[in-house]
Amino acid sequence: MALRFALMIDPVASDDRRESFDDAFTVVDPLGPALPLGELSAQRGDGVFESLGVVDGHAQEVGPHLDRLAHSAHLLDLPAPNAAQWRAAIARVAAEAGPGESVIKLILSRGIEEGSSPTAWVTLATAPENTRARTEGVRVVTLDRGYQLDVPGRAPWLLLGAKTLSYAVNMAAIREAKRRGADDAVFVTTDGYVLEAPTASVILRLGDRFVTPEPAAGILHGTTQRSLFAHLAQRGFSTVYEPVLLSDLRTADAAWLLSSVRLAAPISAVDGVEKTVDRDLTDELNAYLLSPRD
């Protein structure tokens, strides 16, 4: 993704009610050096982030992304983000986006080693090409996540519900999926439950029911999945959070990967077994996801 604009943020306290945050923003060269080597985000992946879709200059689902940023920060014992400051930063960066699809990333790092405050910045990049994934779909392989469904509750220090900067495992899973001839992976617990993809939520269609695994299962609560469930519920479908077995994924009438940038990518094969892609419904879901959403 080609970076086009970047803004460093001097994070203010969450209860700071100032009218303008302009003094706390610095525009930097998105392709130049901007972080000291002591940055804990770079050294340890110690921080949290969000990726927002931007369509024709409109940043999608800002509120839900900021809520999740605050949730992730809380899980990592980072200072609570000032929502008004982050909103102002997103508005400043979205103003540079122009027509078409872009991506805004929000990054909140623990800061410099032995420093006293977090480091934060926001970037704007052109969105990758996703047309093929949205129309023809993605072939997935299921990969063992290495723990049972009850682990997130037993070991909260694993930070399984936080969107941390430590995505090396997620990237390794995608590389493994590609080695196996697929496009992407779906993580499964050792006791056979579907979790999520390395960078997306999973939803299934079982007749008139749309189903996704419960966020308490140590997965991210996807902003795209939440928005789409609200839309589907309005259209009269039933939308449910429940444990999803690997066999449910295999036998579901249809399934999708959902994320803020790729939007709805139908799953066209699971572990080499073809799945039907519902092109009309998928087109409709993506038309909704591309419409301005707050």
- At residue 257, φ and ψ (nearest 5 deg) are -95, 140
CB nearer ligand PLP, residue 46 or residue 50 = 50
- Nearest CA to 153 among 196, 217, 71? 217
Strand partners, 273: 270
Residues 181-210 that bind ligand PLP (CB under 6 A): 196, 198-201
CB nearer ligand PLP, residue 24 or residue 239 = 239
258 binds ligand PLP per the rule CB under 6 A = yes
102 binds ligand PLP per the rule CB under 6 A = no
Candidate ranges 26-34, 79-87, 125-133, 216-224; the one touching ligand PLP (CB under 6 A): 216-224
Q: Is the Cβ–Cβ distance between 197 and 140 less than 8 Å? A: yes
Q: Given candidates 239, 260, 268, 282, which one binds ligand PLP under the rule CB under 6 A? A: 260
Alpha-carbon distance of 70 to 162, in angstroms, equals 10
CB nearer ligand PLP, residue 24 or residue 186 = 186
224 binds ligand PLP per the rule CB under 6 A = yes
74: which 2 tokens?
Answer: 């809380």
Candidate ranges 9-17, 121-129, 233-241, 256-264; the one touching ligand PLP (CB under 6 A): 256-264
- At residue 123, φ and ψ (nearest 5 deg) are -125, 160
CB nearer ligand PLP, residue 14 or residue 164 = 164
CB nearer ligand PLP, residue 70 or residue 258 = 258
CB nearer ligand PLP, residue 24 or residue 142 = 142
Alpha-carbon distance of 47 to 158, in angstroms, equals 14
Alpha-carbon distance of 67 to 64, in angstroms, equals 5
Q: Is the Cβ–Cβ distance between 258 and 230 less than 8 Å? A: no
- Helix (H) / strand (E) element for 280: namely helix 279-290
- Give residue 196's identity as a one-letter amino acid code: E
Candidate ranges 16-24, 117-125, 140-148, 220-228; the one touching ligand PLP (CB under 6 A): 220-228
CB nearer ligand PLP, residue 220 or residue 254 = 220
Residues 41-100 that bind ligand PLP (CB under 6 A): 51
Q: Least Å distance between CB 65 and ligand PLP?
A: 7
Alpha-carbon distance of 136 to 123, in angstroms, equals 30
- At residue 260, φ and ψ (nearest 5 deg) are -60, -30
DSSP letter (8 states) at residue 222: -
239 binds ligand PLP per the rule CB under 6 A = no
- Name the site residues for ligand PLP (rule: CB under 6 A): 51, 196, 198-201, 220, 222-225, 258-260
